[in-house]
Amino acid sequence: MSSPIWTHVALSSELRRFDGACWRLVEAQHRVSTLKLTDTLAEQALLEGLIDETKPAIPPECRHLDFLLATPFRYGAVYPNGSRFRRAGRTLGVYYAAENPTTAVAEMAFYRLLFFAESPDTPWPSDAAEYTAFSATVATARLLDLTAEPLSADSGLWTDLTDYSHCQTFADAARAADADVIRYQSVRDPAEGGNLAIMLCRVFSKPAPVDRQTWRMRLSASGVQALCEFPRQAVEFGRDAFAADPRIAALNWERGDA
């Protein structure tokens, strides 16, 4: 089959139930960074509010959510570059998440390496970066699963490493079918974990994250090492972990530390 077959009418019969948690990573400085610019917590809250006013508006239907859950749905500004299920331009937001934290870590590790691949003169950071992994609960009867038949018949289209055009076309049809979520295989995680592309914020069964983990991620000439203290976990991605992507294959690994 090919992607044009998947019209919104055909997809309506493929909607499935999903109840579970999903994970994202954010830099641990997402709130603390403004603290060093102010003298009191009240001043920090004021500064955070002023900064928030400069950002695109959160849709009314998402405003009851914690900012960590609501932020990806801001779409008042032009989305500069397309992503797997979101076109570039003034397009609707997508909340990308993973079904387990180690898959979310793999996604973050890939995109951190991609930054250095596109910045060949930037030295490796001297210290490990700290990230917060947080989970949200999702409940929907309107999920489309690209890893299950019959949609998995086009898996080659859904898992292309650099061409997102088929996935974006599918997402358009999914929205027309009033789907909430697209489940798909992570192409960054060597373990091929599952990812979720959440298109509508109505799927969150609780308005705030339900669990958190602290991860430290180190990038160097040998690859990426990530550690979590509690629960104790460790994952490592060597130089070849993401080498199937031509952008990472061309990365200059031999560079100094900052």
Is position 124 within any domain?
A: yes
Is position 107 within any domain?
A: yes
Assess whether pLDDT exceeds 90 at residue 188.
yes
SS3 assignment for 140-173: EEEEEECCCCCHHHHHHHHCCCCCCHHHHHHHHH
Is position 101 within any domain?
A: yes
Mean pLDDT of 46-72: 84
Assess whether pLDDT exceeds 60 at residue 156.
yes
Is position 258 within any domain?
A: no
> Which SS3 state, helix, strand or coil, does residue 112 take?
helix
pTM of the model: 0.91
Assess whether pLDDT exceeds 70 at residue 52.
no
Q: What are the tens digits of pLDDT across the range 75-120?
A: 777 899 999 999 999 999 999 999 999 999 999 999 999 999 999 9
205 backbone dihedrals φ, ψ, rounded to 5°: -85, -15
Q: 73 forms bridges with which residues in the sheet?
A: none
> Which SS3 state, helix, strand or coil, does residue 67 take?
helix
Q: How many domains does the chain have?
A: 1
Q: Could you give the percent of the chain with pLDDT greater than 90?
A: 80
* Per-residue pLDDT at 33: 64
Please, are residues 251 and 117 in contact by the beta-carbon 8 Å criterion? yes
Assess whether pLDDT exceeds 50 at residue 3.
no
Rg (CA), the chain: 19
* Per-residue pLDDT at 29: 63
Is position 257 within any domain?
A: no
Mean pLDDT of 160-184: 97
Is position 50 within any domain?
A: yes
* Per-residue pLDDT at 53: 62
Q: Per-residue confidence at 42, pLDDT binned at 50, 70, 90?
A: confident
Report in angstroms the alpha-carbon separations of 239 from 47, 152, 250. Answer: 41, 29, 11
* Per-residue pLDDT at 60: 94
Q: Which domain covers residue 179, as residue numbers? A: 3-249
Is position 254 within any domain?
A: no
Q: What are the tens digits of pLDDT across the range 196-249?
A: 999 999 999 999 999 999 999 999 999 999 999 899 999 999 999 999 999 999
* Per-residue pLDDT at 140: 98
Average pLDDT, the chain: 92
Q: Per-residue confidence at 16, pLDDT binned at 50, 70, 90?
A: very high
Cα separation, 235 vs 148, in Å, equals 27
Cα separation, 138 vs 22, in Å, equals 7
